[in-house]
Structure 1
Amino acid sequence: MTLKIHGIAASRAARPLWLLEELGVPYEHVSQSYLGGATRTPEFLALNPNGHIPVLEDDGIVVWESMATTLYLARKFGGPLAPGNLAEEAEALRWTFWAVTECEKDALSVLMHRVAMPADRRDHAVADQAEGNLARPLAILDAHLATRPYIAGERFTVVDVNVASVLAWAQPSRKLMEANPKLADWLKRCLDRPAHQKVRQLAKTGR
Structure 2
Amino acid sequence: MITLYGVYRSRATRPLWLLAEANVPFTHVPVIQSYRLATPMAADAPLNTLSPAFMAISPQSAVPVMVDDDLVLTESLAITNYLARQYGGDLGPQGTAEQAQAEQWALFGGISVDLPGIDIIYTYADGVHETPDGIAKINAAVGRLVRPLERLETLLGTTDYLMGGRFTVADIMVAECLRYAQTHKPLHAAYPKTFAWLARCQARPAFAAMMEQRNAEPA
Q: TM-score range by the shorter chain?
A: over 0.9
How far apart are 1:91 and its partner, in Å?
1.5
Residues 148 and 21 (structure 1 numbering): CA distance in 2 closer, same or farther, change over 3 Å? same
Residues 76 and 95 (structure 1 numbering): CA distance in 2 closer, same or farther, change over 3 Å? same
Matches within 5 A, 1:92-107: 92-107=102-117
Query: Contact between 1:135 and 1:176, CA under 8 Å: does it hold in 2?
Result: no
How far apart are 1:119 and its partner, in Å?
4.7
Give the share of equivalent positions with the same residue, in percent.
37
Residues 46 and 21 (structure 1 numbering): CA distance in 2 closer, same or farther, change over 3 Å? same
1:58 partner amino acid: D
Deviates more, 1:16-25 or 1:37-46: 37-46
Give 5+ residue unaligned stretches, structure 1. none
2 CA distance for matches of 1:84 and 1:183?
24
Residues 193 and 78 (structure 1 numbering): CA distance in 2 closer, same or farther, change over 3 Å? closer
SS at match of 1:62: strand
2 CA distance for matches of 1:58 and 1:161?
21
How far apart are 1:204 and its partner, in Å?
1.2
Counterpart residue number, 1:155: 166
Counterpart residue number, 2:43: none
Counterpart residue number, 1:146: 157
Counterpart residue number, 1:66: 76
1:83 to 84, 88, 93: 93
2 CA distance for matches of 1:84 and 1:18?
20
Give the alignment's TM-score, normalised by structure 2. 0.88
Give 5+ residue unaligned stretches, structure 2. 41-47
1 CA distance for matches of 2:97 and 2:85?
15
Q: Mark the structure with the bigger radius of gyration.
A: 2
Counterpart residue number, 2:22: 23
2 CA distance for matches of 1:144 and 1:104?
19
2:118 is aligned with 1:108 = yes
Give the alignment's TM-score, normalised by structure 1. 0.93
Query: Contact between 2:182 and 2:188, CA under 8 Å: does it hold in 1?
Result: yes
2 CA distance for matches of 1:52 and 1:108?
16
1 CA distance for matches of 2:129 and 2:21?
38
Query: Contact between 2:129 and 2:135, CA under 8 Å: does it hold in 1?
Result: no
Query: Contact between 2:123 and 2:129, CA under 8 Å: does it hold in 1?
Result: no
1 CA distance for matches of 2:128 and 2:142?
18
- CA RMSD between the two structures: 1.7
Counterpart residue number, 1:117: 126
1 CA distance for matches of 2:20 and 2:88?
14
Structure 1, residues 32-78: CA drift from partner, whole Å, max 9, x if none? Answer: 10133421122111111110000111122211100010011011114
SS at match of 2:152: helix
Counterpart residue number, 1:165: 176
2:60 is aligned with 1:50 = yes
1 CA distance for matches of 2:177 and 2:23?
22
How far apart are 1:113 and its partner, in Å?
1.1
1:98 partner amino acid: F
1 CA distance for matches of 2:136 and 2:128?
13
